[in-house]
Structure 1
């Protein structure tokens, strides 16, 4: 997402620097005009703040956009006591933080406590979805006039000009696609249990999982115990190119800031099912059009949702899908930057 924004702004004629607080990555994915700086060669928070401050002071940016909580806090710390003019500080948040607090580690709780005290002082805060924006305003106390929803450019990876139609279901079985990390938050076991429910109803159902994770072996055992066919594909960048026609995406997460895979699925004509209690998924699904939201995260409720979703054709929502293109997302962010810096051109 950050790379997509940087590339869009550079393509629009702005002078852009991409600063990574992680180890050096692949610069070839960036626009040729984007300057890349990597400050993650040491894993020391104080060093990163110092290096980031030096970078900001040397370049004299008009505005700086950070992505997710840790970079947000580094940016806010680095902007304190800067020499010369301070750039406008725009934070972006992509998670529903409060829903994850019951299972959070002490270190994460401390980080969140600092964010709750400091986010409100940023010049602007960008949210990936309306539920995330609501949390920023109500829980982080960010003034509403300083918070804007910028749609995730989730359709950029798929491309809206290379869509494929789904084949009719007929008497085919159902292939449930699980495109997510296999961690507790995502509740991947529910995909296997949902397939088992469908099988008991006389519908041949299997699961194809993309992503992997610490629960992979547990998922394999659960599938074997329930007689469910499970294919583990690992992490695949363009997972949607490797699924059978007539498949249904299931995202059983108990919390999501957005849910990129739901938009990616819709962009290639694959319906999806998600738990409405995850909240952020409400921005990534058009119920009854691109997929279904279920009110209960039980295997039975997901099975019912899948049977409803298999009748849908998400491609009728092409105009809605264009909202998640790189151009639409970048244009909205560009508007935020323009307002923050008073109409400066670069």
Structure 2
């Protein structure tokens, strides 16, 4: 890459020391842009540790050792972001949450930065923070681009906010290359993966699994992830007498092994920003059963072609779909093959080049 097309890019995020989708994508895209020759820093608001490996040329630092009260530390945070941008001569600032606009706008006044907001929530979800709506309005007026994950969200931003910013749809990429071979699907295992939080609907999945386990007792459910719902889900497994049929083995350290040992993937979410696990499972050729929740599943899946899709919060419908795929191997194979075709649209190489064009776009 020529010197004049290389950018100094900063990704501003809350923390990288959390096993979650936005954090994982920050590391993935930062690494890919460093690989393409850009100079990349990641500024975490707190905690200089990262759960995800970083490219040797990605510099990571944090403003605070632990999460502060941002009401009390507001001015220190704004000053810290500005200091980082001037010290590293940042050209492009990518904020990994539209909420960060409340810090970034005052922090970058007069610096002339190319400013990108990267939205990981869908537009109609504020995650309990009314200030998110204000931050989105500011991002829509003051950022050069707002990056959203789905076309539906791109439409919502444009209809609702009439932004001066360009709203760009860039889906999350697969964080690993498409496997040369699909999973063998020899084991009678249904895999689910995600944080153990109410949004993921694992309580609904366990109620559905009680019906599946009665009808197909040789099958096992494995739910990978960690979070606040672990005690409640463990209690529910006991209450439904699924101790020998369902397990919660914690965070998945080796996704390739988890997908490779499964025969079906199930997403039971009440809400999803994107649903990267769906693309991962498709890359391994696993048939998908998913809820029809906003926004990712609705856009990523083609019912009957690469997935069976049911209403959210409906344990009976979920059980019925699981049993359909378990009992119809030809359907399972067809859905798995359809998913593998679709996963090829989400390779990191493809998305990295789109990000590269974005950060080099003239003002």
Task: Report the TM-score when normalising by structure 1.
Answer: 0.83
In the aligned structure 2, how far is the partner of 1:27 from the partner of 1:17?
16
Which deviations, in whole Å up to 9, do the C-alpha atoms of 1:36-94 show, x marking residues without a partner? 332233622321211111221233332211112343433233123x3xx4111100001
1:35 maps to 59
Secondary structure at the counterpart of residue 42 of structure 2 = strand
User: Does the 8 A contact of 2:190 with 2:264 survive in 1?
Assistant: yes
Once residues 133 and 140 of structure 1 are traced to their aligned partners in structure 2, the CA distance between those partners, rounded to angstroms, is 11
Report 1:130-209 matches (<5 A): 130-142=151-163, 146-153=166-173, 155-157=174-176, 159-167=177-185, 174-201=188-215, 204-209=218-223
Deviates more, 1:174-183 or 1:313-322: 313-322
CA contact (8 A) 1:120 1:142 kept: yes
Structure 2 Cα separation of the partners of residues 309 and 140 of structure 1:
42
Q: Deviations over 1:134-156 (max 9, x none)?
A: 3333345435x711111202x22
Which residue is equivalent to 2:17? none
Structure 1 residues 138 and 309: alpha-carbon distance in aligned structure 2, compared to 1, 3 A threshold: farther
Is 1:48 matched with 2:89?
no
Question: Is residue 126 from structure 1 mapped to residue 147 from structure 2 by the alignment?
Answer: yes
Distance 2:114 2:65 in 1: 26
Question: Is 1:328–2:342 an aligned residue pair?
Answer: no
SS at match of 1:39: strand
- Is the partner of 1:258 in helix, strand or coil? coil
Aligned length: 325
Distance 2:207 2:256 in 1: 22
RMSD: 2.7
1:337 and 1:222 map into 2 onto residues whose CA distance is 47
1:117 is aligned to: 137
Alpha carbons of 1:33 and 1:99: their partners in 2 closer, same or farther (altered >3 Å)? closer
**Contact 2:34–2:55, Cα closer than 8 Å, also in 1:** yes
Counterpart in the other structure of 1:86: 112
Asked if 2 retains the 8 angstrom alpha-carbon contact of 1:7 and 1:30, the reply is yes
The Cα shift of 1:300 comes to 1.5
Q: Which residue of 2 aligns with 1:98?
A: 124
User: Is the Cα contact below 8 Å between 1:16 and 1:35 reproduced in 2?
Assistant: yes
Task: Check whether the contact 2:123–2:157 (CA below 8 A) recurs between aligned residues.
Answer: no
Taking the aligned partners of 1:230 and 1:28, their CA distance within structure 2 comes to: 28
Q: Answer yes or no: is the 8 Å Cα contact 1:94–1:132 preserved in 2.
A: no
Q: SS state of the match for residue 290, structure 2? A: strand
Q: 1:199 to 1:13 in 2, by over 3 A?
A: closer
Deviations 1:191-213 (A, max 9, x none): 11111122344565432111122
Structure 1 counterpart SS, 2:332: coil
SS in 2 for 1:75: helix
* Higher alpha-carbon deviation: 68-77 or 175-184: 68-77
Q: Distance in 2 between matches of 1:62 and 1:289?
A: 43
Give the unaligned 5+ runs of structure 2.
1-24
Q: TM-score, normalization: structure 2?
A: 0.80
Q: Is the 8 A contact 1:182 1:216 kept in 2?
A: yes
Which sections of structure 1, spanning at least 5 residues, go unmatched?
none
C-alpha change, 1:165 and 1:185, in structure 2 (3 Å) is closer
The residue that corresponds to 1:74 in the other structure is 103
Distance 1:235 1:133, change over 3 A: same
**How far apart in 2 are the matches of 1:290 and 1:216?**
30
The Cα of 1:336 is off from its aligned counterpart by 1.9
Q: Deviations over 1:206-232 (max 9, x none)?
A: 321111222222222222222222211
SS at match of 2:118: strand
- 1:81-134 CA-to-partner distances (Å, cap 9, x unmatched) read x3xx41111000011252456xx2xxx22x213213312111110012223333
Please report how far the alpha carbon of residue 28 of structure 1 lies from its aligned counterpart in structure 2 after TM superposition. 8.6
Query: Does the Cα contact within 8 Å between 1:8 and 1:330 map onto a contact in 2?
Result: yes
Structure 1 residues 131 and 308: CA distance shift in structure 2, 3 A: farther
Query: 1: distance between equivalents of 2:226 and 2:100?
Result: 26
